[in-house]
Amino acid sequence: MRKSLKFANICLLLSILILLSGCSYIRYTDIQNQIETDTVLTRDKSPYRLIGDVTVAPGVTLTIEPGVSIQYAGNNWLIVKGRIVAQGTSDLPVDFGRDNLRVHGYRGIRLMANDKMSPSILSNIYLHESDYGIYLDGARAEITFSLISGNGEGIHLWNSNARVEGNQILDNQDVGIYTGGGNPLIRKNILKGNGIALNLDYSSFPVFTGNRIDINHPVFVSASRISGNYDLSANNWGTLDNQVLQSKIQIKEGPSQNLNIRLSP
C-alpha cells in the first residue's frame, strides 16, 4: 500500500513538473537579417523574436497585425529603411518589448528617411524597456494613440516632420520627446514621469500644442543650440505660476541670446 502511494505521489509530482515546463515554453517565430519583400506579421504566428538587427529594406513595407508581440532577443534595432505599418487597436495593441528571459534591454525602432514611400504608421502600439524608443532619422511617420513607457528616450525626432498625436509618453528616463531640426506636429499627448518632457535642439520648430504635461517633471523644456521665439503656451503645464514655469526651463548650450521660450498664457 505504501509503495502504491509513493508511486502515485511520484507520478503526481512528474505531472506537475511537466505542466509547469509546458506553461513556461514559448514557441517564437524568429526573424533575422533583412526583410526584402513586403511582409505581414500575423497574430497566429506571434510572438515574433528579432535576432540581431533586423532591417526592412528600402521600398519594402512591413505590416504588423493587431495583437502581435515583437520581442527583441538582444541589444538590437528594428531598422526601417522602407515603411512600417503597425496598427493595433485599443484592445489589441502591437507590443514591442524585450525577451524577458534573455536580455535586459534593446535599442528600439529606428525609422530612416525614405521620401519615395508613404509615411510609416505606428498606431495603438505599446513600446517599453528600450534605449531609444522610436527614433526617427529624417523619416516621415504618424505616431498615434500609443503607449511609450519605461524607455531611455520616448520619441526621438531628428530632422523629421512626423505627426505625434494622442499618445501617452510615460516614465522615460531621459526625455519624453526630443526634436532636433524639422517641424513635427506634436499634439494632444500626455507626458508624465519623464526626466525632461520636451528637448528642443538644433533649430527645431515643432508645433507643440494641446499637450498635457505633468507638473512633477524635473524639467519641462530643455533647449540646446536654438534661437528665436517659442510660444508653447497652448498646452497644459499643470500650473499657471509663471515663476514655477520659468524654473523648469533649462538652457543647456548654444546661442541663448534672442531666445524666448514662453510657457504661460
pLDDT at 253 over 50: yes
119 and 136 Cβ atoms separated by less than 8 Å: no
Contact 22, 44 (CB under 8 A): no
- Position 248 in a domain: yes
Work out the percent of the chain whose per-residue pLDDT is above 90: 79
- Provide the residue range defining the domain that includes 149: 28-262
Grid coordinates belonging to 163: 505627426
Query: Is residue 46 included in any domain, yes or no?
Result: yes
Rounded CA gap, 185 and 119, in Å? 14
Residue 224 lies in a domain: yes
Is residue 234, in this structure, part of any structural domain at all? yes
pLDDT tens digit sequence for 163-219: 999 999 999 999 999 999 999 999 999 999 999 999 999 988 999 999 999 999 999
Does residue 18 lie within any of the structural domains? no
Query: Mind listing the pLDDT tens digit for each residue in 96-127?
Result: 998 876 656 899 999 999 889 999 999 999 99
Q: Is residue 11 part of a domain?
A: no
pTM, to two decimals: 0.89
pLDDT at position 257 = 60
Question: How many structural domains comprise the chain?
Answer: 1
Residues 6+ away with beta carbon under 8 Å from 52: 32, 33, 73, 74, 76
Residue 247, domain member (yes or no): yes
20 domain residue, yes or no: no
| Model pLDDT, residue 103 | 59
Tell me how crowded residue 12 is: count the other CB atoms within 10 A of its CB. 10
